[in-house]
């Protein structure tokens, strides 16, 4: 018979700093998710250079200001074709990212101000702040270097890192009213350690697969394989150019809007993304299975189900996207699904760690 020990949360008042941080963290998570989706929308509609300068738009705070002075548009960027819709999409993304930056500045300020209460580690707050600052710098270079794929993928990585840090902070600061701890044992500890390692590996694999998806999108390779489950009617396409598919840098004077790669290179990128999806699927299913099978609490079991469910949703979106010929809304949803899958895996990691 297994003994259990139940511990309840203390009845003492939660520090004011912790309450503010928890609310700001949740607000930051939701806004960061919106920013990631907006970033995908901007990229997929070729609006990344809707404003060829940064942080403004043709020297103005809004595209409306630029439209009132058409002469300045031409003088600011000679020969550049102005598109009001693209400019507004780009600036809406920047406005949302700016608000997110302010929220993270507040989180860092509160963490430092309440450092004696230690509602969160000041070091963690500084890392979060440094991440969003670096993310802003990458956003600038995305424009200045004409949407270079490597910079775009790094920008995506920064967004996902920011989301992960904010979500992990919120998970950590949630109040747990009751926690049931099964009796420890060598077998139980070994099993849980295996589940934890599997969850970490799955999170890393999904993160890398998401970045590979960003590389596929920014190189305009999504439509290179319009059929399913084959690619170009073949299980292993003959015409794939891997030597050109993953060249990280091609110089500063190349505008990547519309892509510069030949079709065989794009097929190689897309096909690699599909192979990565298989690996990621197996990694997530294995981690979820271990968690569900050996869950010491319902929280861990539910986290395993959530991870498997998020994976299923992402695969469903991917299949529908190909079968429906890559409509914009599904392509954008595919980016959102990747972020949600990473969040589900973070919940799984957190629950296994608490167990």
pLDDT tens track for 114-157 = 888 888 899 999 999 999 999 999 999 999 999 999 999 999 99
169 plus 135 within the same structural domain: yes
CA-CA-CA-CA torsion sign (57, 61, 63, 69): negative
Residue 48: predicted pLDDT: 92
How is 206-229 classified by DSSP, letter by letter? Answer: HHHHHHHHHHHHHTT-GGG--SSS
CA separation for the pair 339, 164 (Å, rounded)? 9
Q: Which of 69-73, 260-264, 301-305, 336-340 has the lowest mean pLDDT?
A: 69-73
| Tokens (6 digits) for 98 | 């700016």
Residue 193: predicted pLDDT: 85
**63 pLDDT above the threshold of 50:** yes
Residues forming a β-bridge with 8: 178
Q: Considering the domain boundaries, does residue 286 fall inside one? A: yes
Domain containing 69: what range?
A: 14-176
pLDDT tens track for 296-334 = 889 999 999 999 999 999 999 999 999 999 999 999 999
Selected catalytic residue, list 67, 70, 81, 90: 90
244 plus 347 within the same structural domain: yes
Q: Considering the domain boundaries, does residue 7 fall inside one? A: no
SS3 82: coil
Domain boundary among 176, 206, 238: 176
163 plus 209 within the same structural domain: no
Mean pLDDT of 186-210: 87
146 plus 239 within the same structural domain: no
Residue 295: predicted pLDDT: 82
Mean pLDDT of 18-37: 95
**7 pLDDT above the threshold of 70:** no
Give the confidence band of 76 by pLDDT, cuts at 50, 70, 90: low
Residue 18: predicted pLDDT: 84
Higher pLDDT, 291 or 11: 291
Q: Give the number of domains in the chain.
A: 2
Mean pLDDT of 43-61: 91
84 plus 171 within the same structural domain: yes
Domain boundary among 157, 176, 195: 176
269 plus 197 within the same structural domain: yes
Residue 17: predicted pLDDT: 74
**11 pLDDT above the threshold of 70:** no
Residue 73 makes CB contacts below 8 A (sequence gap 6+) with: 58, 66, 67, 80, 82
Task: Encode 167-196 in three state secondary structure.
Answer: HHHHHHHCCCCEEEEECCCHHHHHHHHHHH
If you search the block for the tokens 């960027």, which residue do you land on?
77
DSSP 257: T
Active site residue 234: no
If you search the block for the tokens 């941080």, which residue do you land on?
21
CA separation for the pair 351, 344 (Å, rounded)? 11
Mean pLDDT of 13-26: 82
157 plus 304 within the same structural domain: no
| Tokens (6 digits) for 252 | 């500063």
190 plus 156 within the same structural domain: no
Domain boundary among 176, 198, 224: 176
The pTM for the full model equals 0.89
Give the confidence band of 176 by pLDDT, cuts at 50, 70, 90: very low
If you search the block for the tokens 């350690």, which residue do you land on?
193
119 plus 224 within the same structural domain: no
């Amino acid at each position: 018979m297994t003994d259990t020990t139940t511990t309840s949360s203390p009845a003492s008042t939660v520090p004011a700093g912790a309450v503010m941080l928890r609310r700001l963290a949740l607000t930051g998570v939701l806004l960061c998710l919106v920013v990631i989706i907006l970033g995908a929308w901007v990229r997929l509609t070729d609006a990344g250079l809707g404003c060829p300068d940064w942080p403004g738009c043709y020297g103005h705070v809004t595209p409306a200001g630029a439209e009132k002075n058409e002469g300045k548009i031409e003088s600011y960027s000679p020969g550049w074709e102005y598109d009001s819709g693209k400019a507004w999409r780009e600036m809406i993304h920047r406005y949302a990212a700016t608000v997110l930056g302010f929220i993270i500045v507040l989180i860092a300020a509160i963490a430092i101000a309440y450092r004696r209460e230690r509602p969160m580690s000041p070091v963690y707050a500084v890392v979060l702040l440094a991440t969003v600052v670096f993310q802003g710098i990458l956003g600038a270079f995305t424009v200045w270097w004409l949407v270079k794929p490597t910079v775009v993928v790094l920008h995506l990585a920064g967004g996902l890192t920011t989301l992960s840090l904010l979500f992990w902070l919120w998970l950590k600061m949630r109040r747990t009213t009751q926690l049931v701890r099964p009796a420890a044992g060598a077998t139980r500890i070994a099993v849980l350690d295996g589940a934890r390692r599997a969850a970490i590996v799955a999170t890393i694999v999904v993160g890398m697969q998401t970045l590979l998806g960003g590389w596929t999108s920014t190189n305009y390779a999504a439509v290179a394989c319009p059929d399913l489950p084959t690619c170009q009617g073949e299980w292993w396409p003959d015409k794939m150019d891997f030597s050109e598919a993953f060249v990280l840098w091609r110089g500063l004077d190349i505008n990547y809007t519309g892509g510069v790669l030949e079709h065989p290179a794009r097929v190689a990128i897309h096909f690699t993304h599909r192979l990565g999806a298989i690996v990621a699927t197996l990694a997530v299913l294995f981690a979820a299975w271990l968690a569900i099978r050996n869950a010491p609490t319902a929280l861990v079991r539910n986290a395993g189900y959530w991870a498997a469910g998020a994976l299923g949703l992402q695969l469903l979106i991917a299949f529908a996207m190909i079968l429906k010929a890559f409509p914009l809304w599904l392509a954008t949803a595919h980016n959102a699904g990747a972020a949600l899958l990473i969040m589900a895996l973070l919940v799984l990691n957190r629950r296994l760690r608490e167990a």
